[in-house]
Structure 1
Protein backbone atom coordinates (compact mmCIF):
# COMPACT_ATOMS: atom_id res chain seq x y z
CA UNK A 1 0.00 0.00 0.00
CA UNK A 2 2.88 2.42 0.66
CA UNK A 3 3.90 2.18 -3.00
CA UNK A 4 0.54 3.65 -4.01
CA UNK A 5 1.14 6.66 -1.73
CA UNK A 6 4.74 7.29 -2.80
CA UNK A 7 4.34 6.71 -6.54
CA UNK A 8 2.10 9.75 -7.27
CA UNK A 9 4.39 12.03 -5.27
CA UNK A 10 7.43 10.70 -7.10
CA UNK A 11 5.76 11.24 -10.48
CA UNK A 12 4.75 14.77 -9.49
CA UNK A 13 8.31 15.55 -8.39
CA UNK A 14 9.70 14.26 -11.69
CA UNK A 15 7.19 16.26 -13.72
CA UNK A 16 7.76 19.53 -11.84
CA UNK A 17 11.54 19.19 -11.77
CA UNK A 18 11.60 18.67 -15.53
CA UNK A 19 8.97 21.29 -16.25
CA UNK A 20 10.04 23.86 -18.73
CA UNK A 21 9.01 27.40 -19.42
CA UNK A 22 5.94 27.99 -21.56
CA UNK A 23 6.43 31.02 -23.82
CA UNK A 24 4.29 33.27 -25.98
CA UNK A 25 4.99 36.46 -27.85
CA UNK A 26 3.13 39.13 -29.75
CA UNK A 27 4.35 42.00 -31.88
CA UNK A 28 3.38 45.00 -33.97
CA UNK A 29 3.32 43.76 -37.55
CA UNK A 30 4.09 47.25 -38.85
CA UNK A 31 7.29 47.66 -36.81
CA UNK A 32 10.61 47.57 -38.65
CA UNK A 33 12.65 45.19 -36.48
CA UNK A 34 15.66 45.43 -38.79
CA UNK A 35 16.07 49.07 -37.71
CA UNK A 36 16.65 48.14 -34.07
CA UNK A 37 20.33 47.63 -33.33
CA UNK A 38 20.87 49.20 -29.90
CA UNK A 39 19.03 48.90 -26.61
CA UNK A 40 18.74 50.30 -23.10
CA UNK A 41 16.50 49.61 -20.14
CA UNK A 42 13.46 51.73 -19.36
CA UNK A 43 14.64 52.57 -15.84
CA UNK A 44 11.31 53.99 -14.63
CA UNK A 45 9.58 50.67 -15.42
CA UNK A 46 12.41 48.47 -14.10
CA UNK A 47 12.34 50.33 -10.77
CA UNK A 48 8.64 49.49 -10.33
CA UNK A 49 9.10 45.72 -10.67
CA UNK A 50 8.23 44.15 -7.32
CA UNK A 51 10.89 41.48 -6.97
CA UNK A 52 14.15 41.36 -5.04
CA UNK A 53 16.99 43.46 -6.37
CA UNK A 54 19.05 40.27 -6.70
CA UNK A 55 16.44 38.63 -8.95
CA UNK A 56 16.12 41.87 -10.91
CA UNK A 57 19.90 41.82 -11.52
CA UNK A 58 19.70 38.18 -12.60
CA UNK A 59 16.99 38.99 -15.13
CA UNK A 60 18.78 42.06 -16.55
CA UNK A 61 22.09 40.19 -16.75
CA UNK A 62 20.38 37.36 -18.67
CA UNK A 63 18.70 39.85 -21.02
CA UNK A 64 22.08 41.52 -21.67
CA UNK A 65 23.67 38.16 -22.52
CA UNK A 66 20.84 37.22 -24.85
CA UNK A 67 20.66 40.59 -26.63
CA UNK A 68 24.46 40.76 -27.12
CA UNK A 69 24.39 37.20 -28.50
CA UNK A 70 21.77 38.40 -31.02
CA UNK A 71 24.10 41.23 -32.13
CA UNK A 72 22.54 44.14 -30.22
CA UNK A 73 24.60 46.77 -28.42
CA UNK A 74 23.75 48.49 -25.16
CA UNK A 75 23.68 52.24 -25.77
CA UNK A 76 22.97 55.64 -24.24
CA UNK A 77 21.04 56.48 -27.43
CA UNK A 78 19.09 53.25 -28.02
CA UNK A 79 16.71 52.42 -30.83
CA UNK A 80 14.76 50.11 -28.52
CA UNK A 81 13.92 50.24 -24.82
CA UNK A 82 13.48 47.13 -22.68
CA UNK A 83 11.04 46.85 -19.82
CA UNK A 84 10.11 43.88 -17.64
CA UNK A 85 7.12 42.94 -15.53
CA UNK A 86 6.61 39.93 -13.27
CA UNK A 87 3.69 38.09 -11.68
CA UNK A 88 3.71 35.27 -9.17
CA UNK A 89 0.86 32.87 -8.45
CA UNK A 90 0.49 29.97 -6.11
CA UNK A 91 -0.63 26.88 -7.95
CA UNK A 92 -2.55 24.32 -5.93
CA UNK A 93 -2.84 20.77 -7.27
CA UNK A 94 -5.08 18.31 -5.47
CA UNK A 95 -4.55 14.62 -6.10
CA UNK A 96 -7.10 12.10 -4.89
CA UNK A 97 -5.82 8.51 -4.77
CA UNK A 98 -8.20 5.64 -4.32
CA UNK A 99 -6.70 2.40 -3.09
CA UNK A 100 -7.94 -1.01 -4.03
CA UNK A 101 -9.97 -3.31 -1.80
CA UNK A 102 -11.32 -6.71 -2.62
CA UNK A 103 -14.88 -7.80 -2.85
CA UNK A 104 -17.90 -5.87 -4.04
CA UNK A 105 -18.19 -3.50 -1.09
CA UNK A 106 -17.49 0.10 -2.24
CA UNK A 107 -16.26 1.09 1.22
CA UNK A 108 -13.24 -1.19 1.21
CA UNK A 109 -9.83 0.16 0.33
CA UNK A 110 -8.18 3.48 1.09
CA UNK A 111 -8.67 7.04 -0.02
CA UNK A 112 -5.80 9.55 0.20
CA UNK A 113 -5.77 13.18 -0.81
CA UNK A 114 -2.52 15.09 -1.44
CA UNK A 115 -2.36 18.85 -1.80
CA UNK A 116 0.73 20.22 -3.57
CA UNK A 117 1.42 23.97 -3.56
CA UNK A 118 3.98 25.38 -5.96
CA UNK A 119 4.93 28.89 -7.00
CA UNK A 120 4.42 29.70 -10.65
CA UNK A 121 5.89 32.85 -12.10
CA UNK A 122 5.33 34.90 -15.23
CA UNK A 123 8.00 37.13 -16.74
CA UNK A 124 7.06 39.68 -19.40
CA UNK A 125 9.74 41.32 -21.52
CA UNK A 126 8.52 44.39 -23.41
CA UNK A 127 10.45 46.02 -26.25
CA UNK A 128 9.48 49.62 -26.90
CA UNK A 129 10.44 51.75 -29.88
CA UNK A 130 12.69 54.45 -28.35
CA UNK A 131 11.56 57.14 -30.80
CA UNK A 132 7.77 56.61 -30.75
CA UNK A 133 7.59 55.13 -27.21
CA UNK A 134 5.22 52.46 -28.54
CA UNK A 135 5.30 48.79 -27.60
CA UNK A 136 6.53 46.79 -30.60
CA UNK A 137 7.13 43.34 -29.09
CA UNK A 138 6.14 41.50 -25.94
CA UNK A 139 7.36 38.12 -24.76
CA UNK A 140 5.90 36.12 -21.90
CA UNK A 141 7.32 33.13 -20.06
CA UNK A 142 5.41 31.06 -17.51
CA UNK A 143 6.96 28.38 -15.36
CA UNK A 144 7.71 27.09 -11.90
CA UNK A 145 9.96 29.15 -9.65
CA UNK A 146 12.65 27.97 -7.29
CA UNK A 147 13.73 29.31 -3.92
CA UNK A 148 17.02 27.42 -4.20
CA UNK A 149 19.65 30.15 -4.57
CA UNK A 150 21.99 27.79 -6.40
CA UNK A 151 19.39 27.17 -9.12
CA UNK A 152 17.95 30.70 -9.46
CA UNK A 153 20.53 31.95 -11.98
CA UNK A 154 19.95 28.93 -14.20
CA UNK A 155 16.14 29.10 -13.93
CA UNK A 156 15.98 32.85 -14.67
CA UNK A 157 18.36 32.42 -17.61
CA UNK A 158 16.09 29.65 -18.93
CA UNK A 159 13.07 32.00 -18.71
CA UNK A 160 14.86 34.86 -20.50
CA UNK A 161 16.50 32.71 -23.18
CA UNK A 162 13.26 30.97 -24.10
CA UNK A 163 11.34 34.24 -24.24
CA UNK A 164 13.94 36.08 -26.32
CA UNK A 165 14.36 33.09 -28.64
CA UNK A 166 11.17 34.41 -30.25
CA UNK A 167 12.71 37.83 -30.90
CA UNK A 168 12.95 39.26 -33.48
CA UNK A 169 9.71 37.83 -34.80
CA UNK A 170 9.66 35.98 -38.08
CA UNK A 171 6.36 36.70 -39.84
CA UNK A 172 4.59 33.66 -41.25
CA UNK A 173 4.27 33.64 -45.00
Structure 2
Protein backbone atom coordinates (compact mmCIF):
# COMPACT_ATOMS: atom_id res chain seq x y z
CA UNK A 1 0.00 0.00 0.00
CA UNK A 2 1.35 3.37 -0.98
CA UNK A 3 1.00 6.35 1.40
CA UNK A 4 0.06 9.58 -0.29
CA UNK A 5 2.34 12.59 0.29
CA UNK A 6 -0.66 14.69 1.35
CA UNK A 7 -1.33 12.38 4.32
CA UNK A 8 2.30 12.63 5.42
CA UNK A 9 2.22 16.45 5.23
CA UNK A 10 -0.91 16.55 7.41
CA UNK A 11 0.26 14.01 10.00
CA UNK A 12 3.88 15.14 10.38
CA UNK A 13 3.14 18.46 12.18
CA UNK A 14 0.70 16.63 14.45
CA UNK A 15 3.43 14.20 15.50
CA UNK A 16 5.86 17.03 16.29
CA UNK A 17 3.26 18.91 18.35
CA UNK A 18 2.35 15.75 20.25
CA UNK A 19 6.02 15.19 21.15
CA UNK A 20 6.50 18.65 22.64
CA UNK A 21 7.62 18.73 26.26
CA UNK A 22 5.80 22.03 26.85
CA UNK A 23 2.32 22.10 28.29
CA UNK A 24 0.03 24.86 29.42
CA UNK A 25 -0.79 24.01 33.03
CA UNK A 26 -3.58 26.53 33.54
CA UNK A 27 -4.99 29.87 32.57
CA UNK A 28 -7.23 31.88 34.85
CA UNK A 29 -8.90 34.95 33.36
CA UNK A 30 -10.79 37.33 35.66
CA UNK A 31 -14.48 37.90 35.07
CA UNK A 32 -15.12 40.05 31.98
CA UNK A 33 -11.43 40.05 31.00
CA UNK A 34 -10.68 40.85 27.38
CA UNK A 35 -7.24 41.75 26.12
CA UNK A 36 -8.84 44.14 23.65
CA UNK A 37 -9.73 46.47 26.56
CA UNK A 38 -6.03 47.26 27.01
CA UNK A 39 -3.64 49.15 24.74
CA UNK A 40 -0.27 49.27 26.57
CA UNK A 41 1.83 47.05 28.84
CA UNK A 42 5.04 47.09 30.84
CA UNK A 43 7.03 44.56 32.85
CA UNK A 44 7.26 44.83 36.61
CA UNK A 45 10.70 44.71 38.20
CA UNK A 46 12.08 41.20 38.60
CA UNK A 47 13.68 40.50 41.93
CA UNK A 48 15.83 37.44 42.37
CA UNK A 49 17.81 35.83 45.14
CA UNK A 50 20.18 32.89 45.40
CA UNK A 51 23.18 31.79 43.37
CA UNK A 52 21.70 30.99 39.96
CA UNK A 53 19.69 34.21 39.39
CA UNK A 54 22.84 36.32 39.69
CA UNK A 55 24.50 34.68 36.66
CA UNK A 56 24.65 36.37 33.28
CA UNK A 57 23.09 33.32 31.63
CA UNK A 58 19.99 33.63 33.84
CA UNK A 59 19.60 37.33 33.09
CA UNK A 60 19.93 36.72 29.34
CA UNK A 61 17.23 34.06 29.48
CA UNK A 62 14.90 36.38 31.43
CA UNK A 63 15.42 38.97 28.68
CA UNK A 64 14.68 36.30 26.06
CA UNK A 65 11.47 35.46 27.93
CA UNK A 66 10.47 39.13 28.08
CA UNK A 67 11.14 39.46 24.33
CA UNK A 68 8.99 36.39 23.58
CA UNK A 69 6.14 37.80 25.69
CA UNK A 70 6.51 41.19 24.06
CA UNK A 71 6.26 39.63 20.57
CA UNK A 72 3.05 37.85 21.57
CA UNK A 73 1.47 41.01 22.99
CA UNK A 74 2.58 43.16 20.05
CA UNK A 75 0.96 40.65 17.71
CA UNK A 76 -2.28 41.12 19.66
CA UNK A 77 -2.25 44.91 19.25
CA UNK A 78 -0.66 46.08 22.51
CA UNK A 79 2.42 48.28 22.73
CA UNK A 80 5.12 48.45 25.37
CA UNK A 81 5.49 51.72 27.29
CA UNK A 82 8.00 52.69 30.00
CA UNK A 83 5.48 54.37 32.31
CA UNK A 84 1.73 54.32 33.11
CA UNK A 85 0.79 51.07 31.31
CA UNK A 86 -2.74 49.69 31.07
CA UNK A 87 -1.37 46.24 31.97
CA UNK A 88 1.52 45.36 34.23
CA UNK A 89 3.29 42.04 33.59
CA UNK A 90 4.60 40.00 36.52
CA UNK A 91 6.76 36.94 35.73
CA UNK A 92 7.57 34.06 38.07
CA UNK A 93 10.20 31.47 37.12
CA UNK A 94 10.95 28.21 38.93
CA UNK A 95 13.44 25.56 37.82
CA UNK A 96 13.60 22.25 39.69
CA UNK A 97 16.16 19.47 39.36
CA UNK A 98 14.30 16.17 38.84
CA UNK A 99 15.49 12.57 38.84
CA UNK A 100 14.20 10.20 36.21
CA UNK A 101 13.64 6.68 37.55
CA UNK A 102 12.49 3.34 36.29
CA UNK A 103 10.78 0.51 38.14
CA UNK A 104 12.57 -2.83 38.32
CA UNK A 105 10.70 -5.71 36.79
CA UNK A 106 10.49 -9.19 38.30
CA UNK A 107 10.65 -10.91 34.91
CA UNK A 108 13.73 -9.14 33.54
CA UNK A 109 15.71 -7.99 36.60
CA UNK A 110 17.42 -10.48 38.92
CA UNK A 111 15.91 -10.87 42.40
CA UNK A 112 17.13 -8.60 45.16
CA UNK A 113 19.04 -10.77 47.67
CA UNK A 114 18.69 -10.13 51.40
CA UNK A 115 20.33 -12.33 54.01
CA UNK A 116 21.38 -15.96 53.93
CA UNK A 117 18.84 -18.17 52.12
CA UNK A 118 16.37 -15.32 51.94
CA UNK A 119 15.53 -14.16 48.49
CA UNK A 120 13.00 -11.38 48.26
CA UNK A 121 11.28 -10.29 45.13
CA UNK A 122 11.02 -6.53 45.58
CA UNK A 123 10.63 -4.01 42.87
CA UNK A 124 12.41 -0.73 43.40
CA UNK A 125 12.91 2.65 41.77
CA UNK A 126 16.27 2.92 40.04
CA UNK A 127 17.55 6.41 39.09
CA UNK A 128 18.56 6.56 35.43
CA UNK A 129 19.14 10.29 34.88
CA UNK A 130 18.47 13.86 35.90
CA UNK A 131 16.76 16.73 34.13
CA UNK A 132 15.51 20.24 34.90
CA UNK A 133 11.83 21.09 34.81
CA UNK A 134 10.92 24.75 34.45
CA UNK A 135 7.67 26.54 35.24
CA UNK A 136 6.81 30.05 34.09
CA UNK A 137 3.92 31.81 35.83
CA UNK A 138 2.71 35.03 34.24
CA UNK A 139 0.30 37.48 35.87
CA UNK A 140 -1.36 40.34 34.00
CA UNK A 141 -2.25 43.08 36.48
CA UNK A 142 -4.52 46.07 35.95
CA UNK A 143 -2.64 48.84 37.84
CA UNK A 144 -5.68 51.15 37.95
CA UNK A 145 -7.77 48.55 39.79
CA UNK A 146 -4.73 46.97 41.46
CA UNK A 147 -5.94 43.45 40.67
CA UNK A 148 -4.84 40.49 38.63
CA UNK A 149 -6.91 40.14 35.46
CA UNK A 150 -5.25 37.04 33.93
CA UNK A 151 -2.88 34.31 35.03
CA UNK A 152 -1.17 31.74 32.83
CA UNK A 153 1.23 28.96 33.72
CA UNK A 154 3.33 26.82 31.41
CA UNK A 155 5.86 24.11 32.21
CA UNK A 156 8.32 21.94 30.37
CA UNK A 157 11.70 20.27 30.43
CA UNK A 158 14.52 22.83 30.21
CA UNK A 159 17.01 21.89 27.48
CA UNK A 160 20.72 22.19 28.20
CA UNK A 161 21.65 23.85 24.89
CA UNK A 162 20.99 27.63 24.84
CA UNK A 163 19.77 27.59 21.21
CA UNK A 164 17.16 24.95 22.01
CA UNK A 165 16.22 26.84 25.17
CA UNK A 166 15.49 29.99 23.17
CA UNK A 167 13.33 28.01 20.75
CA UNK A 168 11.45 26.43 23.65
CA UNK A 169 10.85 29.81 25.32
CA UNK A 170 9.33 31.14 22.09
CA UNK A 171 7.20 28.02 21.63
CA UNK A 172 5.95 28.05 25.22
CA UNK A 173 4.91 31.71 25.08
CA UNK A 174 3.16 31.09 21.77
CA UNK A 175 1.19 28.21 23.30
CA UNK A 176 0.36 30.16 26.44
CA UNK A 177 -0.79 33.34 24.73
CA UNK A 178 -2.83 31.35 22.20
CA UNK A 179 -5.22 30.72 25.09
CA UNK A 180 -5.81 34.46 25.59
What TM-score do you get using the length of structure 2 for normalisation?
0.68
State how many pairs are aligned. 141
**Matching residue of 2:85:** 78
- Cα distance in 1 for residues equivalent to 2:125 and 2:86: 58
Structure 2 match to 1:14: none
Indicate conservation of the 8 Å contact 2:101/2:125, yes or no. Answer: no
Counting only pairs closer than 5 Å after superposition, residues 124-143 of structure 1 correspond to structure 2 as 124-143=137-156
Deviation (angstroms), 1:31: 3.8
User: What's 1:47 paired with?
Assistant: 47
Retained in 2: the 8 A contact 1:79–1:130?
A: yes
Structure 1 gaps of 5+ residues are 1-17, 168-173
Does residue 65 of structure 1 match 2:67? no
- Deviation track 1:104-132 (CA, whole Å, cap 9, x = no partner) reads xx99xxx9945222111100111000212
Retained in 2: the 8 A contact 1:37–1:79? yes
Shift of 1:53: 0.6
Q: Tell me which residue corresponds to 2:39.
A: 37
**What are the ranges of 5 or more consecutive residues in structure 2 without an aligned counterpart?**
1-18, 111-118
Note if 1:162 corresponds to 2:168: no
Over aligned residue pairs, what C-alpha RMSD do you find? 2.5
The farther-off stretch of 114-123 and 61-70 is 114-123
